[in-house]
Structure 1
Amino acid sequence: MRKEELRAIAGRIDHTNLRPDVVLSGIERLCAEAVEYGFYSVCVAPAYIRKAAVFLSGSDVKVTTVVGFPLGFTLASVKVYESLEAMMCGADEIDVVMNISRAKEGDWGYVEKELNSIVLATGDLVRKLIIETGYLNDAEIATASEAAVAGGADFVKTSTGFGPRGASLGDIGLIKDTVGGRVSIKAAGGIRDLGTVREFIDAGADRIGTSSGAEIMREAAGGTGPHS
């Protein structure tokens, strides 16, 4: 694969480690891989934002974290507090889990208002709304995507990686048709190889969340590189 294509793919990846048993050395390795391969960001738990920012100091790699993760049913006021703390700790982007229970009840006004309260509190922070498509039917995916736009999100994100399933190409197509370029799209959950990354990008994903970023880049480079 040409270096230009490698860089283009790497620049769409949020290199992720949200395992509950991750230790500091794992976060350090995640950040080192992100710098080495030129990933867009690392996605880490809130407890590791400050450490990740230190490890990434002097690089172009951004720090992403999660809010209301992974179930989404914390109070809106708590999500606002989490978001503010994330920003103060050095996060550049937050991936916020919507209140799935309220969505399943059809209370889309709540979903939109909760997101908007986070948007109003966090200034220039990039906000992604995780709609957890595995719990939703097609009509709900479309409505959740509209709520993300109305609430002021910068991205619609498919999945936490902790739900019943990860992203599907059908999800991306439906979200793309719904948002029509008004916000960006992040695919996440179960994306572990180069072919799948390409399929999701071709389907309309602007960003890819994966814990397999380094493996994907080594595959793209034909198995060569300092870690092979």
Structure 2
Amino acid sequence: MILDIDLVSDFVCPWCFLGKTRLDHALAELRASRPDLEVRVNWLPFFLNPDTPAAGEPYRAFLDAKFGGPIKAEAVLDSVREAAAMDGLHYAFERIQTRPNTLDAHRLMYRAQAAGRKPAHIQALAQALFAAHFQEGRDIGDADTLADLAAACGDRRDAVAAYLVGKADIDKVGRMAEGVRRQGIDGVPFFILNRKLALSGAQSAAVLGAAILQSLQTGKPS
């Protein structure tokens, strides 16, 4: 049996990283009882701040401006840390210097999916992008950084670097993001299960697991 999951996210969204982590936990538990299940996760682009400069912007200054000062910004980060710790996910917000423009990160994911990469490769790439930003403090808006991440996931670094220097798929990624917005999705993460059920937010692994089972029972629309 095949499980198709469309996951709308942005790689600079901390709740999206938590949502992926909880989805991973839900799928691991499901596979224990359903080893025959084939899972395909399709990553769809979302831009939390479409007006982010191409070169990115200072991370803490952005947070302070968004949340009304450093004290309020730190309180928001603390809430994310507390929620994620229960799932074994730890952030290193203090290491982040740049809030990147994520167009090229989404292009990199689009390229991998369009090339028909195996699900394990796609998931590894998504994990690498989130971890690079939130745990290693690397600039995932930088082409060299993205090429290194792709190479670590088994891609050819030179091919990725050449792709990112050009403008291939920029319009396609933009249209996909616009299409997501037109569907009324204005917050991430957003999960669409078997094109049948939808969940918004970083739901718990238990909630995701129950919804996945329900989507498998109801099947896909004809």
> TM over 0.5, yes or no?
no
Greater percentage in helix: 2
Q: TM-score per shorter chain, which class?
A: under 0.3
Taking structure 1 as the reference length, the TM-score comes to: 0.27
